[in-house]
Amino acid sequence: MSTEEILFKPSDYIALGASLIALLAVIVGPLISLRIARRQTISPMRQKWINVLRSKIVEYVTELRTAILPLEGQYPLADKEVIVFYKRVVSIRIEIELMLNPEEEDHNKLISLMKDSIEENETKGKIINKKKLRELLDDTKKVLKSEWKVVKIGK
């Protein structure tokens, strides 16, 4: 064999380069498509989660704010009404808790603020802590803003 037979011709390098590029496209193309599809699926789901969380927090705070006067004795509620009210508030709180991630500190703070928004008072029974409700709204805004940033970048 002569050395001329072993060496590749320039056309062989071009064909090899084209084959490598085609192979790379076959491997990388589906990975990119998968990542784009995942973003297109998760972002709308996360956006819906943000909207539902916002709605549930509003519902929770509204229930407590509208109950402040009756629970302070200005509009006395019958025992049965208090039980129905308290059951509804606890149900909303639990639903919100189940939407939150217990591994995230700011989510745990929301849960704590919800629990602290209704206090046990020795003389008045259950009372609503207006300061905790305000903190709950402020911290909810922070959580929603950080989650919205994640949606905007498409994670």
Written as six digits, the tokens of 57 are: 């927090």
Closest listed residue to residue 56, CA positions, set 91, 83, 26, 32 = 91
Closest by CA to 151, choosing from 25, 2, 50, is: 50
Contacts of 67 (CB under 8 A, 6+ apart): 85, 89, 128
Residue 124: what are its φ and ψ, rounded to 5°? -105, -5
Residue 123 contacts residue 40 (beta carbons within 8 Å): no
Determine the pLDDT at residue 68: 64
Torsion of CA 14, 15, 16, 22, to 10 degrees: 110
Taking only the tens place, the pLDDT of each residue in 61-90 is 888 887 765 555 555 556 677 778 888 888
What is the phi-psi region of residue 141: left when phi exceeds 0, alpha when psi lies from -120 to 50, beta otherwise? alpha
Better-scored residue on pLDDT, 39 or 94: 94
Write down the pTM of the prediction.
0.62
Tell me, what DSSP letter sits at residue 155? Answer: -
Q: Determine the residue type at 35.
A: R
The pLDDT tens digits for 3-47 are 556 677 777 788 888 888 888 888 888 787 777 666 666 678 888
